[in-house]
Amino acid sequence: MGLCDRTTTTSPREIILIVTRDVLDEVDFEFAVEVAEKAMGAMAQQRVPPTPNNFHTWFKYTVGTSADLNRAINILTGNKRKFDTNTNRDLFSTYVGSHTVDEADFIIDGRRTQNRKRAA
């Protein structure tokens, strides 16, 4: 069906998005903006600094592509744990990836490229 398959629940207004595995590479602009705004709101509510790695973690949490990540964040928020630097780093490395932003792959003009650190 494409990027997101839509399934309705008992309420006609309520739509659950079932997101395919490659959703983060294929989102359209409006969907990405909506998810980004929700992710930033959730981060602000938990006082998580909006760094690129934290944003990536919370974007993925908001989209719901990782049940394990969602479970971990829900447990932390349910227990009123603060999202300190170590917790944020652990969430990113465990559920998102081991690459930092400086080492990440970027898509530029439709081509995937490796971002290389500049020599000083």
Q: What is the pLDDT of residues 12-39, one digit of tens each?
A: 333 344 444 455 566 689 999 999 999 9
> In b/e form, how buried is each residue of 67-77, taking b as 16+ CB within 10 angstroms?
eebbebbeeee
What is the C-alpha separation between 41 and 59, in angstroms, rounded?
A: 11
Residue spans per domain, the chain? 4-114
pLDDT in tens, 70-94: 999 999 999 999 999 999 999 999 9
Q: Which two tokens stand for residue 41?
A: 């709101």
37 Cβ contact list (under 8 Å, min separation 6): none
Q: Are 61 and 101 in contact (CB under 8 A)?
A: no
DSSP state, residue 94: I
* Dihedrals phi, psi of 12, to nearest 5 degrees: -65, -25
